[in-house]
Structure 1
Amino acid sequence: MECDGGVHAKNCIDQSGTKFADRLEHSLEIGAKKSGANKGEIHCNKYVLEVISDNDQLRMLEQYAIDYAHSIGLVSPISDPPDGKLTNIYAVPPPIALFPSPFPRELYDHAVKVQQAMNELYFRVASDHDFLMDAFKDVIKGDPFIARFVQIAKMVHDEGIHQPLAVQLQRADYMAHWDPSDGGGTMALKQVEVNIGAIGGPGFARTVSKLHKKVLDKLAIEHGGQPAILANSEAPVNRSRQNIAYALYQSWKLFGDPKAVLLCLSTMDSTHFEQLQFIQFEVEKLGKQQGDLVNVLVLSLTDASKRISLNETGDFSLYLDGTKRVALVHITDGNVPGEFPTEHEWPGMVERFFPDDPKRVALIRSTFTGLWGLEFEDEAIREVIEDAIRSPANYILKSQVEGGLGIFFDHQMAQMLQQMSKEERGAYILQRRINPLVVKNYLMRQKIPALLEDVVSEMGIYGSLIGDQSNGRILHNAFDGHVVRSKRSDVSHGGMSCGGGLIDSLLLFPMAQMLDKSKSALNEC
């Protein structure tokens, strides 16, 4: 969604500002109205109205899903434990959708098809030091946090690359964009953003897919067979946890030292359980299957600053506690300023990258929405800024800070654009706001009964790449699965860490079945 994170389980809180009682009453009214409707009128975008017969069945399925979630480890530490201290002693299912949300099959296939090209694009960008320095030269004038990262990149480059092998974990986020200007007859895949390294969700993504399959199986039992409205649906296979763990394990092997450790750096007081432990367990499992004992350790950034040292007189290896050689560091946090509490945590264009591959360029560009860097002050940028101030509902303002802290909407965005200096604007981009497909689903949070809501979904596509930065050679490049985070359609910030989003999965339908002759089919889901 427009903010990210793993399962920072603000799982007890309704973040919407809408009174819960009003939403519950509205949910029950909708359910009652649909019960008398002609079943032939039910659209696949709101198939959940077809498969739930009454409130008793809904509550039964809700409890069934919660019980099954506990049985498969789809739980996370609660964010408000009785003693005020985060611990895995108190664990509950995270915010989840009761059913998989419908999504156009063709757009899912498009996202899968483009992922390897997206992996390679970002690997080439990361390997081009001059390009990066030029791209960030204006950003760092207004963003001291990013300026520190640029300073580190310069230091590493100036010293020379002593370890050319790099592993890149990526999650490219998309929405199904519906354009009402053409009569509502088409949908397109549009990219929200690309995340590198701190890619929340791979652990729970597989587990929630498993949960939703179980719920649909239970529905089939209740209905005496699969509901007819699901005849052309498909739940895509999702092996994100295993595939990402495989990339990390292969990277560890390429280092060539069977005694070296694989280190994960994280914010230890968060509830990112799914991103670390599930991956840790999977890497250890893969190693054991291959006869390797992979020691995967998790440290906070603060602990790492005290316990990790660099051998600057030898082979420039990292060492943990002076004795354990580090093969690979997977940094899962460190993308917001608060995760660097002291100085000790800090150490001391598409064609450009695919000049001979226009088809790959076109494939990548097909997912782009309007995007403008604000570091320039030409006529085109001035016009875009003026339009964003006049029509703020059509744009989103973003900085480099993750976790939803650097995204601004509507009146706040317009006010910032009016007040910022040119240097301050250079740390931001303007993005054309996506008009997402709206569907129906039941959303579940702790202490709140499942509610029927208008829902929009953001699909993240995972990819991994292992490459040699010294010569550009690619050793591994793969599509690794997907994750879905959904939110109510009237919520702007929808990431897990912001409390507005929920974990979800996909139920794919042919796009033709998700489009209706009237615009209202999508607007009034």
Structure 2
Amino acid sequence: MTSTKLEPCIPLDMEKEKLTDLVEKAKDYALMHGICMRRKDQFDRDALHFAPFVLFPTSFPRNEFDKSVKLQQVLNELMHKVAHDDEFLTTSLRNTIKVDHFTKRLFDIYERVKKEGGPTQAISAGLFRSDYFYCLLSEKVKQVEFNTIASSFGCLTSSLVSQHKYVVQEAGYPQHLKNIPENNALAGLAGALISAWRLYNQPKSVILFLVEDVTYNVCDQKFHEFEIRRQCPEVFVIRRTLTEIGNRGKLTADKRLIIDGQEVAVIYMRCGYHPDQYPTELEWDARYMMEISLAIKSPSIHYHLAGTKKVQQELAKEGILEKFLGDKAHTDSVRDIFTGLYSLDNDTTGDKNLENAMNNPEKYVLKPQREGGGNNVYGEDIKPFLENIKNSDERCAYILMDRISPPIIKNYMVRPGMEPMLADCISELGIFGYVIGTKDEILENKQVGHMLRTKLSHVNEGGVAAGLGALDSVYLVDTDRCC
């Protein structure tokens, strides 16, 4: 039987002088190639520091990586069909929207658009990312979540592959380069937005990036703009907030979205996924105006809703995948990546699941309908949390997921202003893809790249910006090399 232990791709026991040299070279490479973020502790619009990264790429089983890559187009198709199935979305979210105010507001827009005759624009563009842990128990990848909005780090992790290849060579292991796969996520995601712009078919129109008031992960966004310009010099990209769209956006008689005199062909949402991003009714009005406009949305409101955790849990029910994916091989391959997903609705099944979680909290993760990280409840915190809501409908806003146990691998975590830290780490794989289509036809469906995020093994949340996580790259190993 193959063991699941994975070793660092490079021996980490090295002289301090060599380690310091490699770290400095890696930092310089990151700074000079835009693998950077804005500082949160001391904001300066003109200043950047390198994004946290691990010094060497992390070992990952080749067969499971290849399986994840091949599966992305199937998942793209699945989510496209789910998003366009009104009955399934409505049934899946019927209890959640009773208690989750944010999801309810999104669903209200969805319902309002339907009542007014349906979307003005039949085409939607989904830039997706499916996230996985490699599970020690099953020796397979298991899906953590499927992101349908603001799927980040496609750019920075694309660049990090080149940085890691450089560092590996500087460390004296050029033979390892063949096991670090190329990553074209930036080119692929930018290409998706260009394809959508061309389908809109108005040469003077622009691509609008919906952004926060202050963007800390600015490089990951801006390089998408630069790549769009490189691939398609005739298109312009503009950046606007929900507040700016609410104040200055308007619709023409035929529902074309105009802001500051420019017609918007494509809206790429890098925000709009968290309640804090809608401080007043103005921002909600802006989201509705975008949704009823002729612009192609990435994501449309139905793609956004399809990415909720409750929908993910409903898809794991018996017979549901068969409804959307007729091909048995596809159905089996998707079911194989699912871990246990459980409802907490106020019914017999939900009561049983809640009791199991309270008796065995270490086995589960409690998830709300939120994107952006930092929202889940883990371990011993689950029991008092559920105790507080078990007699309330609020529990319907959450799902339970089996806690996945990935392998722990040592690496050096490098963060701005700190000495490199040799730490026990776990890594989460993300596969990027996109789908463009109408309710009745998929026009484009592609897998375009990947990412790896690594965090300290003892922490539950591993945000890169928070300093507990770091950007990473994949180092592929064959199963007979797992020792």
State how far apart, in whole Å, the 2-side matches of 1:249 and 1:456 are: 35
Partner amino acid, structure 2, of 1:152: I
Residue of structure 2 aligned with 1:317, choices 256, 260, 273: 256
Q: What is the CA–CA distance in structure 2 between the aligned matches of 1:149 and 1:226, rounded to whole Å?
A: 50
The answer to whether the Cα contact below 8 Å between 1:51 and 1:219 also exists between their aligned partners in 2 is no
Deviations, residues 18-66 of structure 1 (Å, cap 9, x unaligned): xxxxxxxxxxxxxxxxxxxxxxxxx861343x25521111111001111
Q: Which amino acid aligns with 2:264?
A: V
Distance, in Å, in 2 between the alignment partners of 1:353 and 1:320 is 41
Give the AA of the match of 2:424: D
Q: Distance in 1 between matches of 2:110 and 2:380?
A: 36
2:35 corresponds, among 69, 74, 90, to: 74
CA distance in 1, matches of 2:199, 2:215: 31
Does residue 1:304 correspond to 2:245, yes or no?
yes
2:146 aligns with 194
Note if contact 2:136-2:406 (Cα within 8 Å) is conserved in structure 1.
yes
| 1:104 paired residue number | 61
The corresponding residue for 1:45 is: 7
- Show the 5 A alignment for 1:450-465: 450-465=420-435
Q: Deviations over 1:84-124 (max 9, x none)?
A: x341x221111110111111111101101110010011111
Aligned identity (percent) is 32
Tell me if the contact between 1:101 and 1:504 (Cα under 8 Å) persists in the aligned partners: yes
SS at match of 2:124: strand
Q: 1:373 aligns with which of 328, 332, 343?
A: 343
Q: In structure 1, the residue corresponding to 2:145 is in which secondary structure?
A: strand
The within-5 A match list for 1:28-427 is 45-48=7-10, 50=11, 52-81=13-42, 85-87=43-45, 89-159=46-116, 160-179=118-137, 187-220=139-172, 226=174, 230=176, 234-288=179-233, 293-311=234-252, 314-321=253-260, 323-347=261-285, 349=315, 350-351=320-321, 353-354=323-324, 356-378=326-348, 380-420=349-389, 421-427=391-397
Asked if structure 2 preserves the Cα contact closer than 8 Å seen for 1:168 and 1:465, the reply is yes
Equivalent residue, structure 1, for 2:307: none
2:107 partner SS? helix
- Which is worse superposed, 404-413 or 205-214? 404-413
Query: Which residue of 454, 475, 496 corresponds with 2:464?
Result: 496
One-letter amino acid matched to 1:364 = V
Secondary structure, in 3 states, of the residue corresponding to 1:197? coil
CA distance in 2, matches of 1:466, 1:261: 18
2:51 and 2:464 in contact (8 A); partners too: no
SS at match of 2:179: coil
SS at 2:132 equivalent: strand
1:201–1:274 Cα contact (<8 Å) kept: no
8 Å CA contact 1:243, 1:480 repeated in 2: yes
Alignment partner of 2:157: what SS? helix
Shift of 1:485: 0.6
Which digits, 9 at most, give the CA deviation of each residue in 1:343-369, with x for residues without a partner?
Answer: 100025443543521211111111100
Structure 2 distance, partners of 1:274, 1:510, is 34
Contact 1:125-1:131 at 8 Å conserved across structures: yes
For the Cα contact (< 8 Å) 1:206–1:239, is it kept in 2?
A: yes
Alignment check: 8 A CA contact 1:245 1:283 kept? yes
CA distance in 1, matches of 2:473, 2:174: 19
Q: Distance in 2 between matches of 1:137 and 1:354?
A: 20
* Local SS of the residue matching 1:46: coil
Task: Return the letter of the residue paired with 2:401.
Answer: Q
What CA RMSD, in Å, does the superposition of the two structures yield over aligned residues?
1.7
Residues 1:355 and 1:47: Cα distance change in structure 2 (over 3 Å):
closer
CA distance in 2, matches of 1:300, 1:353: 38
Are residues 1:476 and 2:421 paired? no
Is the 1:175–1:191 Cα contact (8 Å) retained in structure 2?
yes
Alpha-carbon shift at residue 431 of structure 1 (Å) = 0.4
Q: Tell me the distance in 2 between the aligned counterparts of 1:337 and 1:328.
A: 23
Q: Secondary structure at the match of 1:460?
A: strand
CA contact (8 A) 1:252 1:262 kept: yes
Query: Which residue in the other structure is 2:292 paired with?
Result: none
1:62 alignment partner AA: V
8 A contact 1:121–1:353 mirrored in 2 = no
SS in 1 for 2:373: coil
- Residue by residue, what CA displacement relative to the aligned partner does 1:295-321 show, whole Å, maximum 9, x if unpaired? 10111111121121222xx32221113
What TM-score do you get using the length of structure 1 for normalisation? 0.82
Contact 1:464 1:480 in 2 (8 A): yes
Tell me, yes or no, if the aligned pair for 2:9 and 2:56 is still in contact at 8 Å.
no
Kindly provide the amino acid, as one letter, of the partner of residue 54 in structure 1. E
> How many Å apart are 1:411 and its aligned residue?
2.3
* CA pair 403-271 structure 1, distance change in 2 beyond 3 A: same
Matching of residue 443 in structure 1 with residue 413 in structure 2: yes
How far apart, in 1, do the equivalents of 2:465 and 2:397 lie? Answer: 23
The CA distance in 1 between the partners of 2:411 and 2:242, in whole Å, is: 38
Greater Cα radius of gyration, structure 1 or 2: 1
Secondary structure, aligned partner of 2:162: helix
Structure 1 SS opposite 2:232: helix
What secondary structure sits across from 2:244 in the alignment?
helix
Query: Corresponding residue for 1:510?
Result: 478
In the TM superposition, residue 373 of structure 1 has moved relative to its aligned partner by 1.8
Task: Return structure 1 stretches of 4+ with deviation > 4 angstroms.
Answer: none
**Contact 1:404/1:498, CA 8 A, preserved across alignment:** no
Any gaps of 5 or more consecutive residues in structure 1? 1-42, 180-185, 517-525
The CA distance in 1 between the partners of 2:44 and 2:459, in whole Å, is: 27
| Gap change, CA 1:353 and 1:330, over 3 Å in 2 | farther
Figure out how many residues of one structure are paired with residues of the other and give that number. 445
In the alignment, the residues of structure 1 paired with residue 19 and residue 191 of structure 2 have an alpha-carbon distance, to the nearest angstrom, of: 38
Note closer, same or farther for the CA distance 1:361–1:374 as it changes in structure 2 (3 Å cut): same
Q: Which amino acid aligns with 1:499?
A: G
Amino acid at match of 1:387: N
For residue 403 of structure 1, report the CA deviation from its aligned partner.
2.0
* Aligned partner letter, 1:169: L
Deviates more, 1:299-308 or 1:91-100: 299-308
